[in-house]
Amino acid sequence: MGSNENKEENLNKALHFIQKAVNEGAELIVLPELFNYLPSKMTKQGHLKNAEGIDGPSIKALEKVAKSNNVIIVAGSITELDGEKLYNTSFVISNKGILGKYRKVHLFKFGNIDETSVFEAGNKPEVIDLYGVKIGLTICFDLRFPEFFRTETLMGADLIFNVAAFLEKTGKIHWMPLLRARAIENQVFLVATNQAKIKGHGCKYYGHSCIIDPWGKILAKAKSDECVITCNIDLQKIEGVRKKMPLLDMRRIDVYDIMKSVKRP
């Protein structure tokens, strides 16, 4: 979906697409980054005005629809207010309520966009157990840090989600190569939901949400416009790929240990 500055409109659109996904048989539904408020120009004042806690209207609405339809929703991300601090936070919601949340660790800097002027950075990866299936959560710019995806893989993630507002300018070159690389090198399913390209928004987003298997095969992919994509995932494929090419067992952590102390020149 493509979001804008109208919070009520965005939430109604999200609920519409969730219902469409439910009608198509979806059991787990994923929204993009900042799905309920995405301004053309990022300001702390604007995000503060539209921030919510866990008891806010957006999360409550998603809790209601998750319960009534017996589905799990990875609620993209919202601007979370915690005390006086703002976080870019993704919530995982089931028919039993909030199962967990993740605060974006790597804050985006590109051109005149600087998320550190608005948000506090999270400080840990997050892997959540969905009734026996473990999912890793990441947000947009995290995609450029392979160590982060490897960490969540080693924490047991079978699927890793990247909810994003990836720009068209960088997305044309970087979006799909980065997503496929993260899936291939970690031998996990990767589900990526990106803000769609819509008319009237000051920023152009790339869209192309997709689902990728542990071998790097694209199982489903959207174009740049708004839509719902669905796909059946066979988690047994992870074991098959890892048995054929045991990458995780072949790691040389005695060599990689240098990463902890060496900074770039």
Which residue in the list 52, 140, 152, 210 is annotated as catalytic? 140
- The terminus-to-terminus CA distance of the chain in angstroms comes to 40
From 7, 13, 33, 120, the catalytic residue: 33
Q: Which of 13, 104, 120, 152 is catalytic?
A: 104
Segment (H or E) for 174:
helix 168-186
- The answer to whether residue 237 is catalytic is no
| CA separation for the pair 115, 101 (Å, rounded) | 19
Separation of alpha carbons 190 and 42, rounded Å:
28
The single residue listed with the structure tokens 């174009």 is 223
Give SS3 for 173: helix
Instruction: Look up 8 and say whether it is catalytic.
Output: no
Here the contacts of 253-259 (C-beta below 8 Å, separation 24 or greater) are 259/147
At 118, list the tokens.
């608005």
CA distance 46 to 43: 5
Environment class of residue 136 by beta-carbon count within 10 Å: exposed (0-12), middle (13-18) or buried (19+)? buried
Q: Is 204 an active-site residue?
A: no
Q: Tell me the catalytic residues.
A: 33, 104, 140
